[in-house]
Amino acid sequence: MAQDELRTSLAQAAEPFVENLYHCLRCNYCVEMHWEERGIQHVCPTLLHHNPAPGYSGKGYLTTARAVLEGEELPINSLIERFFNCTTCGNCEEVCPVGLRPAHLVKQIRAAMVAQGFAPAPIAAIAENVVERHNPAGASIETRNHWAAGLDGIAAGAGALYLPGCAASYEAPAEARATVSVLHQAGVPLKLLPPEQARCCGAPLEEIGFPAEADAERRELAAAIARSGCRRVVASGAECLGSLAGTQLADGVEVLHAFDLIERAVAEGRIGFEPRVNAAAGPIGLLDSCHLSKKSHGIAGAANHPLRIRALLDRLGCQTVAVADQGSYAVCCGAAGGMPRMSPQSAARMADGKLRSFAEAGAVVVLGASPLCVAHLRRSQAAGFPAVMGVFEFIDSYFRLRRVV
């Protein structure tokens, strides 16, 4: 009975995507492709590192959802396993020559599964963590701002509110500290939300099929932002940036990635960089985090921060390496979409594949602008792999900022 209701619910979730389901060419672009001129080497991280079966991939999800819509009886456990083993990176959408949106479909199907009580246990646990403790890892609320202890640059009266996001607050605190430090040197004081008021931006919940809970978190976060009185929100998390950019904040509140402030200050000639003595980074690999570089992730993706960070690194005289998959077509590192919880070994293989390709290209350090990706890659570090750093960690370690009066 429950399974019949699930089938009905899944068909209803697929219905809004009917144009997608009946206009897939089966060209296989989202399955396996190499297109040198576009910087595409592979496409789907799940096919590469989880399972090569055609039930996965953009094409696989579209084909399956069409069968669901047409009333075919498909094994429920397999359906759940397949739809929850997508990173929702959106690379399938990026490469699709006719603009289909399989990653968006996956999120809708997940939501229908969750609503019918079919969320896999690791996925349900993420949601529970966010609802109860406002972060996906389930870390304690009280320790949320521990990363900022003793740090200069935090001022209660600052006009800019810094939202490091859950990943930087708990899993990549060095990046949060470096961000405050660098912005402090640039003359931008920041304010933090009290831990009890801080909330998840909702993006992780959205990705794993809990849109209502995501919305509730986002609304509470928007209220906390309004209470802060700040007119500018500075985010570190790639997902936070995208999520807040789509949230109704108080009129005139500007949402930025921390890098935007540095980029603006450089463009306006307000800051300069001096290399720290005896500190020279070797060749750098730059991670194109999906949420910051793929158009399917909305405003944040279209802004393509990695591309702009690369330009700054060039300007600073840093040597960057090229890998076969880069730019908006880079293959996901496995950090998002619930993958590290749902299938930790596959997520680790995704990270391993990423770091291996940077190592083969000669990188000694890999920089990421998304703390979620940085934390995930660090967990997968093996001997011989490049070091992984947040972009601000790198800037703070190797450069001193000079304010131009």
Closest separation in Å from C-beta 7 to other proteins: 13
**Are 325 and 25 spatial neighbours (Cβ–Cβ below 8 Å)?**
no
We find the least distance from the C-beta atom of residue 136 to other proteins, in angstroms, to be 28
What is the C-alpha to C-alpha distance for residues 139 and 237, in angstroms, rounded to an integer?
17
Spatial CA neighbour of 53 closest among 28, 71, 31: 31
Decide: is 322 part of the binding site for other proteins (CB under 8 A).
Answer: no
Q: Does 128 bind other proteins (CB under 8 A)?
A: no
Residue the block writes with tokens 């020559």 = 97
Stretch that binds other proteins, among 93-101, 182-190, 342-350, 367-375 (CB under 8 A): 93-101
Q: Is 79 in the site for other proteins (CB under 8 A)?
A: yes
- Kindly identify the residues of this chain, within the stretch 271-310, that bind other proteins according to CB under 8 A: none
CA distances (Å), origin 300, targets 96, 145, 290, 367: 20, 25, 10, 18
Q: Between 40 and 69, how does the x/- string for binding to other proteins read (CB under 8 A)?
A: x-----------xxxx---xx--xx--x--
Residue number with CB closer to other proteins (64 or 145): 64
d(CA 25, CA 215): 35
Q: Which is nearer to other proteins, 25 or 382 (CB)?
A: 25
Contact 68, 14 (CB under 8 A): yes
The CB-side HSE value for 365 (13 A sphere, CA atoms) comes to 19
CA pair distance 64, 55, nearest whole angstrom: 7
331 scored as a contact of other proteins (CB under 8 A):
no
If the CB atoms of residues 7 and 177 are measured against other proteins, the closer one turns out to be: 7
Record the tokens describing residue 173, joined without a space: 């605190």
Do 240 and 193 meet the contact criterion of CB atoms below 8 Å apart? no
Residue 97 contacts other proteins per CB under 8 A: yes
Number of residues binding to other proteins, judged by CB under 8 A = 36
Distances (CA, A) of 263 to 197, 257, 258, 291: 30, 10, 9, 19
Candidate segments 24-32, 176-184, 341-349, 366-374, binder of other proteins by CB under 8 A: 24-32
Q: Which residues bind other proteins (CB under 8 A)?
A: 18, 22-29, 31-38, 40, 52-55, 59-60, 63-64, 67, 72, 74-75, 78-79, 82, 96-98
